[in-house]
Structure 1
Amino acid sequence: MLAAAAAAGAAIWLTTAWLLNTADHAREGTDRAKVRVDAVRTGLAAGAGAGAAVGLLLAFRRQRHAEIATTLSDYDAAERRVTELYNAAAEQLGSDKAPVRLTALYTLERLANNDPSHRQTIVNIICAYLRMPYTPPLDPTREADPEAAQRAAARRYHAVRGNARPAAQPTTTPNPNEERQVRLTAQRILLDHLKFDARVPWNKLDLDLTGATLLTFDLSNCTLSSARLSGATFHGTTDFRGLNLAGEARFDDTIFSGLTLFMEATFAGSANFGRAIFSRQTDFGGASFSMQTSFERATFSNVTNFGGVTFSKSFSFNGATFAGPALFSQMTSSERATFRGSTFSGYTEFNATMFKRDPAHELDETTSGWFDEFGELVFSRAADFSLATFSTEISLDGAIFSGDVSFRSATFSGNADFSKATFKQAVDFADAAVADLSSPPTLPAGWRIEPGEGATGLIVNT
């Protein structure tokens, strides 16, 4: 108000002084007096206008400050409400009643849908719940023993008839079948919102399920920034088909007890499956690994398929065990591939596989050891490398092939040394080609290289 009064006074004084000075030049008499009156009236009007303008400006500022205060108040109230819901959900997740835990999960889902800034935190809470210790029931569909329930009812009946107090019932633990439903709900919430075509997608999130117990877990066609599942146990079918992982993937020490599907999955970051156990059929067909990948000391107990898989960087199966058939047909390797110490107990197929060195990853002269390593491998059954392409040096030191081995129509561009490998059954190099005679493969007894056009050759039986 003081500013408005000061502005009005200054406007009145300046305007009136200027107009009165102008009026002094008017003719004397009535005209000069009239001009003076008009000057005073105009000065007062100017002062009123200036005061009104300043008042309007002050009112605008007060309104603006009030709006900011209201916005901050609303934000604080919303944050307090979110905090209250978080706290309530945390308490509900600790309840021994399954419906209460389910309510907590649906509350968290609603919070994440309404506020993207809280989605990672809510995913962390759901993952933390799934990491809690849990032992699945042996048969989730089996109901309680009806005979045991009848015996308990009979004891209570006889106790009442005899005027005796019924024996105290032991404290019950949460029903494992109910907990199974709660966990399936938590997993479904993650699946529903991590899919790339979800109605309310939760994008670019990290998943930490280290050591979790997961039931018929499904992340097919989901998109994640990273996934940490080290030491997790998967019961039932596990479905990662079409999974898109932008960052690190940790599956080391993981146990897959059922059918495991990774077809067409994309791993843009490093992937670690070291010491993982695959108990049933496993399928990585068409998957893509863009960075270093490890399956070292992994165990594959059933049919395993890596057909059509692309490894853009080095990968290792050192010490891995394949108890069933292992299929690597049409696999592509752009950098170093190592299988040292691996054991193949079933039929093994590398048909039309390409072991090559990508020119974009050429090593300099100071770097040594660029080769694909199959040393100390044990193939207990037939192994098929027909139509495979070996573009780098191949090391087979100590490899043992107990069954028939086929390299029919394979192509060798780098030096492949078979001299220290053991072939207990027939080995077939028919129609195999040597692309560069300057670094020919060292063949087992009974085979030689027939020179062809230019620097090429053909492997023939002696």
Structure 2
Amino acid sequence: MRIALSVAVAVVLLLLWQAPAEAGRAAKQAAAAVGREWRWGLTVALGAALAAVWLGPLALRAARRPVPSRWRVPIAITSVLGLGFLTFLWVFHSSSEPASGSRVGPSRSSLAVQSGALVAGLAGGAITVWLNDQRRRHDDEDLAHRREQSTAELAQDRERAEEDRFAKAVELLGHSNASVRVGAMHALAGLARSAEHRTQTIVDVLCAYLRQPFLHYSWDSQPPAVDPAESDYIASLPPEVRASASRELAQKRVAAEREEAKERAEQDREREVRRTALRLVTAMLPRQAPAEGQPPIAVDLTSAHLDDVSFRDLHLQARWAGAHFHGVASLVGAHFHANADLDRAHFHVDASLDGAHFHANAYLDRAHFHADAYLDRAHFHVDASLDGAHFHGVASLVRARFHGDARLDRAHFHANAYLDRAHFHGDASRDGAHFHGVASLDGAHFHGDASLDGAHFHANAYLDRAHFHGGASLDEAHFHGDAWLDGAQFHRVASVDGAQFHGDASLDGAHFHGAASLAAASWAHLSVAGADFCGVVSFPPSLKEAKGATVNARVAVALPDGWRLRTPGGTSELVAPAAPDDDDNHDR
């Protein structure tokens, strides 16, 4: 609209400064003298009007105020009339009156009126278009504002309705009727589906319900309803009172059995309620990793007593310190984001964590696995701490990967422990650990330092083909059974100071790239057949078999009495002492 007005003003100014063509020379001079005054005045007036048209809305917009609607029509009428009047004046003063009796054209006043009406009409049309556009914009803005207000009101109503549903459902969780409690839990789960931002709050409420004290009669031995000593006491009574005492005891036993049956029925109902709560919690957990910057859903089951649980392939944050899992715990493929706290947790039945991922620190200190524990192919992406943990059943960590430090100090493996082909990328510590069953670490890789100081292997220990890329320390370790390290690779120093090998120890085919002080340990029977010793080495007197073993003669080598080195073709081989009836004695 403003562009149209600017074009109209430009046309007016062009006509204003153009001299009339039909005037004579004297008339042109007179018109020019008179018209110059009008032209300058009209030019200033039109320039001021044009500046008001362009700068007025800008000034109001700069002040963050739209043009008031009550001003728009008066401004439009004034502008139209002003342009029409100015055009009338310009045409009237710039044109000459036709000669008397001439029929060439209209009179000067008619021409001025027609020109003013034409310009006013054009300006009025342009201003009408502008006013309609302003009205449409105002209506759109008003509609958008009403929509925003309606949306906000709907959101507030929805928020109030959700709050009411949440409060009523939480209140019903304390109802004495088990079916009412189950219904309240389903109501909370439905609210979580319709309002995802409340999922964490609802999970917290259900977990708080599960943390309430509860023990099922099938989880623990129950005392007898009637003390057996009472029967013995009645048998010792005189015959005249024994019958009445027996009847009282029978009545007492019947009442106790009824009460026990009632309690057990209530415990069964509560058990089903808790199973429902646990199923709803797992149903609310995602199967995809949380978006960047979004925290995982925390499941706080601290000190809770639970039945069968399944978090298979789910993503969560576990806070399970002191929890008791009385049923099968299936955590296969689960992803634990943030620190996983399972300190002092008790798994009374089999625990399966095959392929589980611990993306932050994993704390299982003093945890008890009363049955078998399966952690095959589990990934510990940061540090893993199992200090003082007890594995009462089979412990399987085959192909497990510890990307940070792994601590199993003072851990107890009461049955067989399998860590075959496991990878320890950080430092691995098993100081003071007890392996009461077979300990198998075949093909395990220790990329950092490995410490088994003071560890006790009560049965056979298998470390065949194990790789110790850092330092290996077995100081004060006790191997009560056979120790097999055939083909093991020690890339740095191997320390066995004070270690005791009570059974057969085999280092056949092992490679020691650093120093190995084997004489500092106590060996019942040591075999190093085919082993390579590239660094400083000392052998104990109990060395029995060394066929094919080679040492580096350029470094210090301490041999037992009677043993010697033979260097055929530049290699140094260990030679056992000659038999007593062997006539061929060679000096070292």
Bin the TM-score by the shorter chain. 0.7 to 0.9
Aligned partners of 1:82 and 1:12: how far apart in 2?
A: 55
User: Which aligned pairs between 1:58-137 and structure 2 lie closer than 5 A?
Assistant: 58-137=138-217
Residue 21 (structure 1) aligned with residue 118 (structure 2) = no
Instruction: Tell me if structure 2 keeps the 8 A contact 1:4–1:52.
Output: no
Instruction: Tell me if structure 1 keeps the 8 A contact 2:553–2:572.
Output: no
Which residue pairs with 1:220 in the alignment?
A: 312
Which residue pairs with 2:339 in the alignment?
A: 248
Deviates more, 1:76-85 or 1:172-181: 172-181
Instruction: Tell me if structure 1 keeps the 8 A contact 2:84–2:117.
Output: no
SS of 2:465's partner is coil
Aligned partners of 2:306 and 2:137: how far apart in 1?
A: 63
**How far is 1:114 from its partner?**
1.9
Give the number of the structure whose alpha-carbon radius of gyration is greater: 2
Per-residue CA distance 1:186-215 (angstroms, 9 max, x = gap): 2212323325279xxx99322221111121
User: Which aligned pairs between 1:16-415 and structure 2 lie closer than 5 A?
Assistant: 16-24=81-89, 25=91, 27-36=107-116, 51-138=131-218, 175-196=266-287, 204-224=296-316, 226-357=317-448, 371-415=449-493
Aligned residues: 417
Per-residue CA distance 1:258-312 (angstroms, 9 max, x = gap): 0010111111110010000000011111111111111100111111111111111
**How far is 1:7 from its partner?**
1.1
Which residue pairs with 2:249 in the alignment?
A: none
Instruction: Tell me if structure 2 keeps the 8 A contact 1:433–1:459.
Output: no
- Residue ranges of structure 2 left out of the alignment (5+ in a row): 1-65, 93-106, 226-257, 515-532, 556-570, 577-588
SS of 1:175's partner is helix
**Which structure ranks higher in relative contact order (CA pairs < 8 Å, sequence separation ≥ 6)?**
1
TM-score between both structures, scaled by the size of structure 1: 0.82
Instruction: Tell me if structure 2 keeps the 8 A contact 1:285–1:309.
Output: yes
SS of 2:365's partner is coil
- Residue ranges of structure 1 left out of the alignment (5+ in a row): 146-168, 358-370
Instruction: Tell me if structure 1 keeps the 8 A contact 2:302–2:321.
Output: yes
Give identity over the alignment, percent: 23
Aligned partners of 1:442 and 1:71: how far apart in 2?
A: 84
**Letter of the 1:22 counterpart:** T
Instruction: Tell me if structure 2 keeps the 8 A contact 1:284–1:309.
Output: yes
SS of 2:503's partner is coil
The match for 1:4 among 50, 69, 94 is 69
**How far is 1:439 from its partner?**
4.4
Deviates more, 1:34-43 or 1:249-258: 34-43
**How far is 1:46 from its partner?**
6.0
Aligned partners of 1:440 and 1:264: how far apart in 2?
A: 42
TM-score between both structures, scaled by the size of structure 2: 0.65
Pairwise CA RMSD:
3.1
Deviates more, 1:184-193 or 1:236-245: 184-193
**How far is 1:338 from its partner?**
0.9
**How far is 1:8 from its partner?**
0.9
Instruction: Tell me if structure 2 keeps the 8 A contact 1:417–1:443.
Output: no
Aligned partners of 1:133 and 1:443: how far apart in 2?
A: 60
Aligned partners of 1:84 and 1:175: how far apart in 2?
A: 30
Instruction: Tell me if structure 2 keeps the 8 A contact 1:375–1:395.
Output: yes
Aligned partners of 1:410 and 1:206: how far apart in 2?
A: 43
Aligned partners of 1:246 and 1:458: how far apart in 2?
A: 54
Aligned partners of 2:488 and 2:134: how far apart in 1?
A: 90
Aligned partners of 1:306 and 1:459: how far apart in 2?
A: 39
